[in-house]
Chains A and B, each alone.
Chain A
Amino acid sequence: NAGVTQTPKFQVLKTGQSMTLQCAQDMNHEYMSWYRQDPGMGLRLIHYSVGAGITDQGEVPNGYNVSRSTTEDFPLRLLSAAPSQTSVYFCASSYQTGGENNEQFFGPGTRLTVL
């Protein structure tokens, strides 16, 4: 298993440009999510999905779009990048149901800089 993969690892954008951060998992997890990590603020939930075709907003959704057409993929779109979106982005996945063996698996992250 590759686990959770993210591309690209690094990206520099200019203000107003658009881009898509890719996330894929091969564990057949129903739940996938995107977090952003900023210094002194921990990780904050942007958007999440509980299955193909179902997405919802997290704590900081403004400026980001998501869709979930397959179980495996959960891309994050920035339609018009702003310097405030400079951050490290993490994708994560888990089973939706509970139980002691359940946990979220995190990707390696994408470091995004918006100039």
Chain B
Amino acid sequence: AQSVTQPDIHITVSEGASLELRCNYSYGATPYLFWYVQSPGQGLQLLLKYFSGDTLVQGIKGFEAEFKRSQSSFNLRKPSVHWSDAAEYFCAVGPGGTASKLTFGTGTRLQVTL
């Protein structure tokens, strides 16, 4: 069975500082990996996704993530955080071949201080 672990429940960074959110997955084959962002009271917005190929993927809002098969990780990064990035971030894994039946991590809440 697939699973996702987001070890950090809550992270606080200063505006302008760099950010890395951790995600570890468990899946027997090549997974489809996703990062979603959820602002308070809102639905989920896709930031980026990995299906195959280049292990460094670029997303919206200046985010990127790197797939490391040897570490079963898919960490999300941003070089310089903006106050508007404060939200909850979810990593998800899907069975190879589709974007359906996603398994989500428990989320990381990002707080940005000015």
Contact = CB atoms under 8 A, between A and B. Distances in A.
A75 interface: no
A99 B9 CA distance: 31
A50 B42 CA distance: 26
A43 B104 contact: yes
Given A103-B49, A106-B44, A108-B43, A42 B105 contact: yes
Nearest to B96: A98
Interface in B68-95: 90, 92
Contacts, number: 69
Nearest to B4: A42
Given A96-B98, A104-B99, A40 B43 contact: no
A17 B107 CA distance: 31
B102 interface: yes
A76 B85 CA distance: 32
**For this complex, into which size category does the number of interface residues on chain A fall?**
20 to 34
A97 B44 contact: no
Given A103-B46, A108-B42, A42 B102 contact: no
B106 interface: yes
Given A42-B104, A98-B98, 15 more contacts: A33-B100, A40-B107, A41-B106, A42-B107, A43-B90, A43-B92, A90-B43, A94-B99, A96-B98, A98-B32, A98-B97, A98-B99, A103-B99, A107-B43, A108-B43
**Which 10 pairs, one residue from A and one from B, show the smallest C-beta to C-beta distance?**
A98-B97, A42-B104, A102-B99, A43-B104, A106-B44, A42-B106, A31-B100, A108-B43, A94-B99, A106-B43
Interface of A: 31, 33, 35, 40-45, 48, 50, 58-59, 90, 94-100, 102-104, 106-109
22 contacts: A31-B98, A33-B100, A40-B9, A40-B107, A42-B4, A42-B90, A43-B102, A45-B101, A58-B101, A94-B98, A94-B99, A96-B98, A96-B100, A97-B98, A98-B32, A98-B51, A99-B51, A103-B49, A104-B100, A106-B43, A108-B43, A109-B43
